[in-house]
Structure 1
Amino acid sequence: MPMTVLNIEELLKKEHVFKQLSVAELVEHAIRNKEGVLAENGALSVETGKFTGRSPKDKFIVRDDSCEMHIDWGHVNQPMESDKFEQLLQKVLRYMNEADQLYYTEAAAGADTHFTLPVRVVTEYAWHNLFAKQLFLREYPTVAAFEPFTVVYAPHFKADPAVDGTNSETFIAMSFEHRIVLIGGTEYAGEIKKSIFSVMNYLLPQQEVLSMHCSANVGHGGDVALFFGLSGTGKTTLSADDSRQLIGDDEHGWSHDGVFNIEGGCYAKTVNLSREKEPQIFDAIRFGTVLENVVLDDARIPDYDDTSLTENTRAAYPITAIDNIAIPSRAGHPKTIVFLTADAYGVLPPISKLTKEQAMYHFLSGYTSKLAGTERGVTEPEATFSTCFGSPFLPLIPEKYATMLGELIDRHGVTVYLVNTGWTGGAYGTGSRMKLSYTRTMVNAAVNGLLADIPTEEHPIFGLHMPIEVPGVPTDLLNPVKVWADASVYEQQATALAQKFTQNFARFESATDAIKAAGPRV
């Protein structure tokens, strides 16, 4: 006898589905279900099991006629055949149908109503639903630019790789035809956020809107700044500035009208968090916040310095928990763009100005470095290149996003800076981490236009234009070779890093000669 075919609408009619619960109700359910505990500061503290970060090798896009010709298929965008997805969908829906309780919320992505995506989230855990409520926009649109996407999250359902076409028991499978994201085999809630970001990275460029993995803020004069950077480079920290209003901390669109936040919340790293260094983030963590994998002491006070569970400790809270935010989360066109990199080789200058071609080169490169001890098997710094500072979330070819960025830089006369928040005076283990106070001073000077008329000198290998002075920053710090004990050792290290850049960029065969020439000289 054939199995009953289920759909999401039928599932949502079941009595065991709790719909549109408030933040307080979701916290109550999570505690009652023993999913987490309340921390001393009122946040819900949870642990995500063996997965304390995303699982990129388990992410798939369903291959169908609607997207076949658009997706940049490969190890990032792995294909899943339609029949395998439909089979897996039925298995997950049957599993969810038998669950003790489910949670459902309606939200949205895209603060510009011309480009809003309705988002529906069905979860097995109450805290996953709370996470979605805090991270997405709260208001579900009655009229929207795109048809809704539904996230179905079953953390304890495990796929059978031999039958389901997955690489493991874990899966994040996205279907543009069915407009569904299936997540299973992992408890890490970041998969919810990043799957919808990937959807927007597919939809927005088709509407001539550049989707960006960046934070954004705006000054009192309407001057907008964007901050691109991979995890750990300071994107959230540096965009949270008391003198400027926060538009958003991680995901944005750039349309003909200006910049808008894709999200309604913040997903901040909390490792080594303190009120002294990051007061806005510290004070935003309160009742309703989800703390992931943060160790609590006996009094349930968070110990942000304890990384025994993971270095990727996180806090998810609504953007309204930050005092000085832009309402609504929109602003005009950027005046300044800052690319952030944590260079563990101690080679790159703390700040340098880029030409448009250099900006496109470094955007396509998306460089930072992994540190020893942060991942199993990493014993010394490793150069990491993530295209457009967000490679895992880009369904289209990278050149599409880079070309759009270059056109927007030209059209709006944007100044672009590369800022190294990593090491100086030597590589990791020898040199020291750039002082956050100096980095803030340099970034503020760039964003406020104070570097516009300051002369620069050119880096001999990377060709970067380094300001000869920045008020409030030691002059010698601005040229990295001057703070190394041995200039010849610095040159060797810089040449080695430049070769890594060149080797990585060789894959961008369609880049123009001008962009290729904007890279380091090896």
Structure 2
Amino acid sequence: MSAINQMSDLNQLVNQSNVHHQLSVPQLVERVLSRNEGSLTHTGAIQATTGEYTGRSPHDKFIVKDDHSTDAVNWGKTNQSIEDETFIKLYHKVLDYLKDRQELFVFKGYAGADERYRLPIQVINEFAWHNLFAHQMFIRPTEEELTQHEAEFSVISAPTFKADPEIDGTNSEAFIIISFKHRVVLIGGTEYAGEIKKSIFSVMNYVLPKKNVLSMHCSANVGKEGDVALFFGLSGTGKTTLSADPDRKLIGDDEHAWSNFGISNIEGGCYAKCINLSFQKEPQIFDAIHFGAVLENVVLNPHSHQPDYDDTSLTENTRAAYPLHHIKNTVVPSVAGHPNAIIFLTADATGVLPPISRLTKEQAMYHFLSGYTSKLAGTERGVTSPQATFSACFGSPFLPLAPSVYAEMLGEKIDQFDSEVYLVNTGWTGGAFGEGERMKLSHTRSMIHAALEGELKSVETYLDPVFDLQIPTHCPGVPDDVLIPKKTWKDPNAYDRSAHELANKFHENFKKFEHASKEIKEAGPSYGRL
């Protein structure tokens, strides 16, 4: 008997007469509007707001510590523990609360486009618009698949249920709790839909490595010749934007698996940041926001209902959720071969990292474990300006296992499939945040295009004396001076000070990886190396 069946109250809940199962997009849109959960935009998309929580709440995320997880999970500030008994009590409180709701909504689908490794899931929502979000973000079953579908993991989302930290063992009224033993994700106190998506990603990051499959926080696309590219990076670094390339087919924008058979998308949709979105800059994403899409915390014109993508009055973390088929140029099903190129994206708020550099395998492992970037405004609750951070594997908040598990798997696959790796700075140039300017998207696109087309292989390079990175001295479509960060700064001495400061941060952060090989440790910045 599965853990879910042991928790029979869940089956009772989803079989109540007030529960709607597998509603279509039009039906869900009707429910959203009739329940006053959101508004209709001029293109037919649904717009909803999330109240106080406009981003993920990492301090409110827990994993249940029990006989399934105790020895496997990398416990700490990221993976906070909560006792099984405490979870069970809160679980039943939430279910009792939901039983009295006027309506509930259930979506059944999959995480994982590769049928060999996909996870059957069900998402139980208090809000119709959250169920529409789940319908668009996960992989939708065919009618035949639905008849055979048995959920192996359940997400229960009760945003209007507020926890009492003193009684319920949480840190606040909000909570996101994963139980691998009971195969349940319990969410409450937050209306931010991204928690639904990211909780299942965390589950897959636990499940897939046990099957010798590398789970990755990255976007992916494929060229006309079948060449595959991966784009790693935290929220706001450009994964979605840069993978939506009109000359390449999109595999997916955020979460992928790399098995011995190749790359596969974990999701069935995209969750794109849409602050300052325009047709001129990102036509594919702009055109994807029509009927069935969900706009989160985007301000609408009260008369025309046209989105104002430049309006940050609610948050800078405005989002658009839409299914993959809203993008014209996609791979169906979303699977492809092994990656020819891997791009590490970092939004460097100090403005000292080069816009592109080619990495050796050892440097790739160093920068993958480091996962340096800047948290951008709005992606997490309380972040209002860029903050330098190191997020192992470019996805530390979603990794239940030790970073070394994912890093070792990546290193093995780079060796096995001879993938080239590049570090690309989509952050600031000419100075730090507040002084310099954000890297031009057109320049970044040109650099990535050159990398994917092999145009940087034979170009003369400049060895950065601080970070020990090989920087191409020429790239089609990019002024040469842009390629060397120090040349973009008005004050070279100020650049040196900032670069040295960042190099020291790299070294300090890497102390946590004391078991890494000497070759990987020495692949970091040459300045300040002991």
Aligned to 1:52: 54
SS of 1:346's equivalent in the other structure is coil
**Cα distance, 1:370–1:250 mapped onto 2, change above 3 Å:** closer
1:131 to 130, 133, 138: 133
Q: Which of 3, 12, 15 is the aligned partner of 1:13?
A: 15
Counterpart Cα distance in 1 of 2:297 and 2:102: 25
Cα separation, 1, equivalents of 2:149 and 2:101: 34
**Secondary structure, counterpart of 2:411 in structure 1:** helix
Equivalent residues in 2 for 1:406-421, closer than 5 Å: 406-421=411-426
Paired AA for residue 100 in structure 2: E
Report the CA distance between 1:455 and its aligned residue: 2.2
Assess if the C-alpha contact under 8 Å between 2:316 and 2:377 holds in 1: no
Equivalent position amino acid for 1:241 in 2: D
**3-state DSSP of counterpart to 1:52:** coil
- Equivalent residues of 1:116, 1:145 under 8 A apart: no
**Following the alignment from structure 1 to structure 2, what is the Cα–Cα distance between the partners of residues 199 and 234?**
24
Q: Is the 8 A contact 2:356 2:483 kept in 1?
A: yes
Q: Quickly say closer, same or farther: Cα 1:389–1:144, change in 2 above 3 A.
A: farther
Which amino acid is the alignment partner of residue 395 of structure 1? P
Q: Which residue of 2 aligns with 1:365?
A: 370
Cα distance, 1:150 vs structure 2: 0.5
The answer to whether the Cα contact below 8 Å between 1:370 and 1:382 also exists between their aligned partners in 2 is yes
Deviation of 1:425 (Å):
1.6
Residue in 1 that maps onto 2:173: 169
SS class of match (1:114) = coil
CA contact (8 A) 1:117 1:145 kept: no
Query: Does residue 1:445 correspond to 2:450, yes or no?
Result: yes
Say which SS state the counterpart of residue 158 (structure 1) adopts. coil
The one-letter code sitting in structure 1 at the alignment partner of 2:419 is V
Tell me the SS of whatever aligns to 1:443: helix
Match of 1:485 in 2: 490
**Kept after mapping to 1: 8 A contact 2:105/2:131:** yes
Task: Indicate which of 187, 191, 195 corresponds to 1:187.
Answer: 191
C-alpha deviation, 1:497, in angstroms? 0.8
Alignment of 1:231-310 (within 5 A): 231-298=235-302, 299-310=304-315
Aligned to 2:95: 93
What CA deviation, in whole Å up to 9, does each residue of 1:107-161 have, x standing for no partner?
Answer: 1000000000001011111111000000000017579999610111111111121
Q: Any idea what SS the aligned residue of 1:359 has?
A: helix
Shift in Å, 1:169: 1.3
For residues 298-323 of structure 1, give each alpha carbon's deviation from its aligned partner in whole angstroms, at most 9, with x where no partner exists. Answer: 21110000000000000100010000
Give the 3-state SS of the residue equivalent to 1:493 in structure 2.
helix
Task: State the AA in 1 paired with 2:267.
Answer: E
Measure, in 2, the Cα distance between the counterparts of 1:304 and 1:324. 24
Q: Which residue of 2 aligns with 1:476?
A: 481
* Inter-partner Cα distance in structure 1 for 2:363 and 2:327: 34
- SS of the residue aligned with 1:405? helix
Task: Please name the residue that 1:62 is paired with.
Answer: 64
Displacement of 1:373: 9.4
The residue that corresponds to 1:465 in the other structure is: 470
- The gaps in structure 1 that reach 5 residues or longer are none
143 and 400 in structure 1: CA distance in 2 versus 1, 3 angstrom threshold:
farther
1:40 shift after superposition:
1.0
Using the aligned pairs only, state the percent identity.
62
Alpha carbons of structure 1 residues 433 and 144: separation in structure 2 relative to 1, 3 Å: farther
Q: Which runs of 5+ in 2 are unaligned?
A: 1-6
Q: CA deviation at 1:511?
A: 1.2
Out of 321-330 and 375-384, give the one that drifted further.
375-384
Q: Secondary structure at the match of 1:115?
A: coil
Question: Which of the numbers 421, 426, 441 marks the counterpart of 2:431?
Answer: 426
SS in structure 2 at match of 1:507: helix
Q: Secondary structure at the match of 2:512?
A: coil
CA shift in 2, pair 1:138/1:380, >3 Å = closer
Secondary structure of 2:308 counterpart = coil
What is the match of residue 4 of structure 2? none
Contact 1:269 1:314 in 2 (8 A): yes
User: Using a 3 Å threshold, how does the CA distance of structure 1 residues 53 and 74 change in structure 2: closer, same or farther?
Assistant: same
| Distance in structure 1 (CA, Å) of the matches to 2:53 and 2:159 | 11
Distance 1:432 1:97 in 2: 52
Deviation of 1:444 after TM superposition, in Å, equals: 0.5
Shift of 1:281: 0.2
Rounded Cα–Cα distance in structure 1 between residues aligned with 2:37 and 2:182: 30
1:74-223 equivalences under 5 Å are 74-139=76-141, 141=145, 148-223=152-227
CA distance in structure 2 between the partners assigned to 1:160 and 1:252 by the alignment: 36
Aligned counterpart in structure 1 of residue 25 of structure 2, from 3, 23, 26:
23
**1:520 equivalent in alignment to 2:522:** no
- Over 3 Å counting, the alpha-carbon distance change for 1:124 and 1:312 in structure 2 is same
* Farther off after superposition, 23-32 or 419-428: 419-428
Report if the CA contact (8 A) 2:165-2:173 is conserved.
yes
1:329-386 Cα deviation digits (max 9, x unpaired): 0000000000111112110111100011111111111111246899898787531111
CA distance in 2: counterparts of 1:145 and 1:518, whole angstroms: 47
Distance 1:371 1:194, change over 3 A: closer
Q: Aligned pairs, how many?
A: 518
- Secondary structure, counterpart of 1:151 in structure 2: strand
Partner Cα distance (1:305, 1:479) in 2: 31
Aligned equivalents of 1:181 and 1:497: distance in 2? 38
Bigger mean CA deviation after superposition, 210-219 or 226-235: 226-235
Q: Distance in 2 between matches of 1:502 and 1:429?
A: 25
Amino acid at match of 2:517: T
Name the CA distance, whole Å, in 2 between partners of 1:243 and 1:415: 20
Shift of 1:328: 0.8
Q: Match for 1:423: what amino acid? A: W
Change (3 A) 1:114 1:493: same
Q: CA deviation at 1:486?
A: 2.6
Secondary structure at the aligned position of 2:278 is classed as coil
SS at match of 2:121: strand
Q: Distance in 2 between matches of 1:80 and 1:378?
A: 26
Q: TM-score by structure 1 length? A: 0.96
Structure 1 residues 47, 381: CA separation in 2 closer, same or farther (over 3 Å shift)?
closer
Give the Cα–Cα distance (whole angstroms) in 2 for the partners of residues 376 and 79 of structure 1.
21
Q: What are the within-5 Å matches in structure 2 for residues 496-507 of structure 1?
A: 496-507=501-512
**1:116 and 1:146 in contact (8 A); partners too:** no
